[in-house]
A = this chain, B = another copy of it.
């Protein structure tokens, strides 16, 4: 009140001359409705998943994905399309297999976890110890499972947000806990809400200086089967996990919709183009690539670009890490130009909630945004965005504000990191809802002068 009181005369004079720069809600609504009928995102996703397929950082397919991205961004009309290379030590899968050998032989289906060491070439044959929770492994004394293969069979809860995953995923990072108990290898039940036999991979890690033992994931049915059998008597399995590390180059690709008034103010949005290897990386994260590119393209073909630049970024190594940090490293001298950042990386199902930096939705320039998104069944949260996605986490920590358009993850972890992450599970209607939400939001944000660093 004091502030407004003190400035009352000045405001009256200045408002007509320098109004707050704000996007036209009618244009945002047109973009939203155009997006709901736009096949572009699905086309991008079909192209990436079928013409490139799985593309882990460090693989030959990752290089093809880089070239695909440059060509696609150029074809979509983006400018300043370029590639940023960074070095990484890449983990790549080789042959893998597992079988029950006693009491009766039966095949198992296994996937090694990223960063796992290999078994000896001939594999490991040992008795399994099946624990129902990770806590049970943590509670086991040192040396308790000497010579065994430890299996943690902790189920994951299905939730709309990532909380079910967050609660379960620690089991994927526990080979060192198993090694502490003397285990020869570590297997986790897939971090999955599915009943499918296909295991779900993902990165693991080793703690401290302890021994590194091979680590893999079993499908949900196989983990349950081992638990049932182990309750009856000794069960021996054979496990062979082979992989190798290479010094590789990874690439982040970006392209712009150049701002018409304040092009040095940049809104960064994107997805990650690398994927795990068993599927074709459709929902993780071809969808984020497709959604962000299709949304920015619709804005790019407007008669007048928004004031600010929209930069679409395809990060090149989210799954095994590194592209967020590389992006920070490459852009740290110009972070001040990035007014807002966000990433689409939780699949392709409907967005149900918008989160913005603190106070942003109270600004007059954005006050229409919740009403523009409401027909898409998207609520606007009063809680500020705290997480914009894995690849913008590093720049967020360095001061860049983030937004989040939260996707319904109820189905996501049925497929995530497994062979079932393919185009077949993508609902084109929900994919377009994502494009609509991003297009409208990016337009309103980019055609404004809101300072997201300012807070309330």
Contacts and interface: CB of A to CB of B under 8 A. Distances in A.
Interface of A: 46, 49-54, 60-61, 64, 100, 103-107, 109, 195-198, 220-222, 224-225, 228-229, 232, 279-280, 419-420, 422-425
Contact of A104 (B51, B103, B195, B225): B51
Of the candidates A53, A60, A196, A425, the one having the most CB atoms from chain B within 10 angstroms of its own CB is A196
A423 B197 CA distance: 10
A422 B221 contact: yes
A196 B420 contact: yes
Contact of A198 (B46, B52, B197): B197
Contacts of A52: 104, 106
User: Lowest 10 CB-CB distances: which A-B pairs, in order?
Assistant: A221-B422, A53-B106, A195-B424, A221-B424, A197-B419, A50-B225, A50-B228, A195-B425, A196-B420, A197-B420
A423 B225 CA distance: 8
Contacts of A51: 103-104, 229, 232
A53 B106 CA distance: 6
How many chain copies does the complex carry?
2
Contacts of A422: 195, 197, 221-222, 225
A297 B100 CA distance: 31
Contact of A423 (B106, B196, B221): B221
B50 A229 contact: yes
A173 B64 CA distance: 38
Given A196-B196, A221-B424, A424-B224, A64 B104 contact: yes
A280 B225 contact: yes
A38 B286 CA distance: 46
A61 B221 contact: no
Contacts of A53: 100, 104, 106-107, 225
A225 B46 CA distance: 8
A368 to B, nearest CB: 38
Contacts of A64: 104
A63 to B, nearest CB: 11
Contacts of A228: 46, 50
B104 A220 contact: no
A151 to B, nearest CB: 14
A365 B61 CA distance: 70
Nearest to A198: B198
A60 B106 CA distance: 11
A54 B109 CA distance: 13
Contacts of A221: 280, 422-425
Given A224-B424, A229-B51, A198 B419 contact: yes
A107 B93 CA distance: 13
A394 to B, nearest CB: 31
27 contacts: A46-B228, A49-B225, A51-B104, A53-B104, A53-B106, A61-B104, A61-B105, A106-B280, A195-B420, A195-B425, A196-B196, A196-B198, A196-B419, A196-B424, A197-B198, A197-B279, A197-B420, A197-B424, A198-B198, A198-B419, A198-B420, A221-B422, A221-B423, A221-B424, A222-B422, A224-B423, A225-B422
Nearest to A235: B50
A326 to B, nearest CB: 25
A296 B105 CA distance: 30
A237 B270 CA distance: 33
Contacts of A54: 106-107
Contacts of A60: 105
A427 to B, nearest CB: 10
A221 to B, nearest CB: 4
Contacts of A104: 51-53, 61, 64
